[in-house]
Amino acid sequence: MRAVLQRVSRASVSVDGAVVGEIGPGLMILVCAMQGDTEAQADKLAAKIAKLRIFKDEAGKMNLSVKDAGNAALIVSQFTLAADLRGNRPGFSPAAAPDEGKRLYDYFTTRIAAEGIAVANGIFGADMDVSLVNQGPVTIWLDTDTL
């Protein structure tokens, strides 16, 4: 699985002009299930994200996890993280099939929540408008193949 994390002061996702998920301070997590991914990859990714110390402590050092800071996560499916860029027009065949991608997205969301982190979501497969204020800026790319 792949994910892009952005530390945010706020973030929201809208579908057809209606907000379907929003958070205050926390993480915007764009996530993509790849072909061949399993629940084990989702578990590994969720555990890593929950423990990443990328929020500032009282001394201003990145020393707190999203949970330690009492923050939330907005999780949005993002199949374009699987882009194959060998040509000028991206291909997305490395992404999991839609039904499997949705299953793993939903599973990943439950794993983040199980870590004690409040979760808001986008709508899998929908055309979404995502708004965020990246704090820092802090943006981190993760791939379970390299964790």
35 flagged as catalytic: no
Distance CA 17, CA 59 (A): 40
Distance CA 27, CA 139 (A): 10
Q: Which of 6, 55, 79, 144 is catalytic?
A: 79
pLDDT digits (tens, 9 = 90+) for 129-146: 999 999 999 999 999 999
Task: Please give the average per-residue pLDDT across 118-131, as a whole number.
Answer: 97
Distances (CA, A) of 39 to 104, 110, 111, 117, 121: 7, 11, 10, 19, 19
Q: Which of 6, 41, 78, 144 is catalytic?
A: 78
H-assigned helices in 16-142: 39-51, 98-114
Contact by Cβ (8 Å): 73, 29: yes
110 flagged as catalytic: no
80 flagged as catalytic: yes
pLDDT digits (tens, 9 = 90+) for 9-35: 999 999 999 999 999 999 999 999 999
Q: Any idea where the domains of the chain sit in the sequence?
A: 2-143
Q: Output the pTM of the full model.
A: 0.96
Report the percentage of the chain scoring pLDDT > 70: 100
Task: Please give the average per-residue pLDDT across 31-53, as a whole number.
Answer: 98
H-assigned helices in the chain: 39-51, 98-114
**In this structure, CATH architecture of domain 2-143:** 3-Layer(bba) Sandwich (3.50)
